[in-house]
Structure 1
Amino acid sequence: QLVLTNLHKLQESGFYWGSINGKEANATLASEANGTFLIRDSSDNRHFFTLSVKTASGTKNLRVQCDSSTFFLQTDPKSLLSVPHFDCVLKLVHHYMPPSKGASCGGNTRGVSSYYIYSGGEKIPLELLKPLSTSMSTLQHLCRKTVNGHLDISSKRDQLPHPLKEFLQDY
């Protein structure tokens, strides 16, 4: 159920690329700026999703691991830090993105990436700056994303009509 719920949310996100493989993800991200990323199905049948991100050293593919109730990035034996766990893949992605301009952080540590990619002897900080969209997002999706991205209005959600609250929660 956790995976199906997240699959639905990813499909609505606009940056879930489905069943493309690592080679296709590398080619897709090759001409993009560093920090551009996408989520795709994992080619490893032990995992559901992979996060592909363009870095200064090329495209890196990170498995999104899943236990019974959470998602988290693969852990690297060279890293002593534990990785945070999330009930939603989109929350995981959001955690590793920098805070939006003008957003109130209010004790939020989001955007302080403590995750490093170890590749070919290099230690590369994970930077998720811009999702690579598969297509144009719907106006509904863009509105929901904008409203949900403003932390200062979240306290006023209780004042909204019930159908509107449900609409915003669906994201």
Structure 2
Amino acid sequence: MTCQSFEASERRADANTRAVESDESHIALAMKELKNTGWYWGSLTANGAKEILQDATEGTFLLRDSSQRDYLFTISAVTSAASTNGTVQLILTKPLYTSTPSLQHLSRIAINRRTQQIQALPLPNRLKDYLLDYTYNV
């Protein structure tokens, strides 16, 4: 192996390492955000999700770890639609929380539903940052 090909190989290895670290960082950030939603149930089984959702209204959903190796997550939802061609249109309207959300969190959701212009609100910057930190509309 020549010196040049060794250096090129070394650069590729460094780039691959940085890409993996970047992916891991993105996944870690996404997991943190999911845990903050309150509707991420972790390693709940399909049967467990079915039992928890059995009395819920249509559109209620939760997010859990997937039991399939090719996927990170699975959405379990209540739907009344019957599948005729193997597909079902889901309308996810109501997350099922793992525990009762705080009043602070519920207020943030309500404010974010009413306006997309958080920066224009007459609020302290710290509160605006808190409102903007949660980007989901459910």
TM-score, normalisation: structure 2: 0.67
Answer yes or no: is the 8 Å Cα contact 2:41–2:65 preserved in 1. yes
Quick one: percent identity of the two aligned structures? Answer: 37
In the alignment of these two chains, the number of paired residues is 110
Cα distance in structure 1, aligned partners of 2:44 and 2:29 = 20
User: Aligned match of 1:2 in 1, 11, 26?
Assistant: 26
Is structure 2 residue 105 aligned with structure 1 residue 146? Answer: no
Greater strand percent: which structure? 1
Residue 127 of structure 1 corresponds to 91
Please tell me the residue identity of whatever aligns with 2:123: L
Moved over 4 A (4+): none
CA contact (8 A) 2:81 2:89 kept: no
Asked if 1:40 corresponds to 2:40, the answer is no
Give the match for residue 92 of structure 1.
none
Task: Determine which of 38, 42, 45 is the counterpart of 1:18.
Answer: 42
Q: Give the number of the structure whose residues are more often helix, by fraction.
A: 2
Name structure 1 gaps, 5 residues minimum. 59-118
Partner of 1:30: 54
Letter paired with 1:130:
K
1:99-114 paired onto structure 2 within 5 Å: none
**Equivalent residue, structure 1, for 2:127:** 164
Q: Which has the larger radius of gyration?
A: 2
1:56 aligned partner, one-letter code: S
Alpha-carbon displacement from aligned partner over 1:118-139 (angstroms, at most 9, x marks no partner) = x563542211121111111012
Query: Secondary structure at the residue paired with 1:137?
Result: coil
- The answer to whether the 8 Å contact 1:39/1:51 transfers is yes
Q: Is the 8 A contact 1:37 1:131 kept in 2?
A: yes
Question: RMSD of the alignment, in Å?
Answer: 2.2
Q: CA deviation at 1:17?
A: 0.9
- Looking at structure 1, the residues matched to 85 and 111 of structure 2 have their Cα atoms a distance apart, in angstroms, of 42
Say whether the 8 Å CA contact 2:62–2:96 is kept in structure 1.
yes
Normalised by the length of structure 1, the TM-score is 0.56
Whether the 8 Å CA contact 2:118–2:132 is kept in 1: the answer is no
